Every structure is written in structure tokens, then in C-alpha cells.
Amino acid sequence: MALKVPTSMDECLYFSNRSIDDGNVLAWVYRKECPKCKKDKMGKPIEKGKVKTRAIKYVCHSCGYEEEKKEHEESLTLEAKYTCPYCGKDGEGTTTYQRKSFKGAQAYLVDCEHCHQTIPITKKLKKLKVKKVKG
């Protein structure tokens, strides 16, 4: 199944392009269609002509349907195209849109379809903890 890369940031709720060691990851989450009217995409509320950045709910701008942030984000999937930093092969994968703890950092985790290693997509400039060898 070939993933469709977004053509505009307006289609996305989340977008990231990261370099990870010898590989790279292009990851995105599409905005969800309104479950009530199915006409428009859900988004954060707009107040005084600006998008409310720290909103606790998502709103359909056509019909006014509201959904809590937590339940809305749990229903989304993150899609990623990558060059694996471990085996060097290109691939693609999907995962839940939920950060998990990985080597001391919160990250979205995608598994390589070739070598089955976990590829972390961390926040910008966040470093993973490396175990120190005593010797």
C-alpha cells in the first residue's frame, strides 16, 4: 500500500521531516473528516480570526460539531515514509498518533518493515539517552 504524501500543510494536523543518524523520516497525520456532517475536516477552533493553539477540543467549521482533544487524537493515525537508519532501506509505515516513551524521550514509534527495528520520531532537537558502558 503506497502512502499519499500531503500536498499542503492545510491537510495535516501534524507534519515532520527528521534526519535520524544515517536515515530520515517524513511523517504526517491527516486531519479527520467530521463524523457528523462528513463535509469538512475537523480543526482547532478559530477565535477572533486566529486559530486557538492550545485548544482542548476540535471543531467542525461547517456544522459546529465538537470533539474532545484526547478522544480526537486517539482516533488518528500517523503515516511515515522513511529511510531506515539501521538497514538503509526505504519503507513506509503507520502507527497511532500517540507519543510513547523510548530511550528517555517521548516519540512516535514506527517499525521498519524490513529489519523490524523501531524508528523514533522525537520532538525537534530532542536527544535519546544512550546507555554508558562501565569499563
Mean pLDDT on 97-114:
90
Chain segment 41-61, per-residue pLDDT in tens: 898 888 888 888 888 999 998
pLDDT at residue number 51: 85
More confident residue, 124 or 105: 105
Per the CB < 8 A criterion, the answer to whether 41 and 34 are in contact is yes
As a dihedral over the C-alpha atoms of residue 46, residue 52, residue 55, residue 58, rounded to 10 degrees, the angle is: 30
Q: What pLDDT was estimated at residue 1?
A: 56
Sign of CA dihedral 125, 129, 133, 134: positive
What residue spans define the domains of the chain?
Answer: 18-29+76-129, 33-75
User: Among 59, 68, 15, 14, which Cα is nearest to 41's?
Assistant: 59
115-124 pLDDT tens trace: 999 999 888 7
Could you tell me the pTM of the whole model?
0.83
Residues 93, 81: contact at Cβ < 8 Å?
Answer: no
Which residues partner with 98 through β-bridges? none
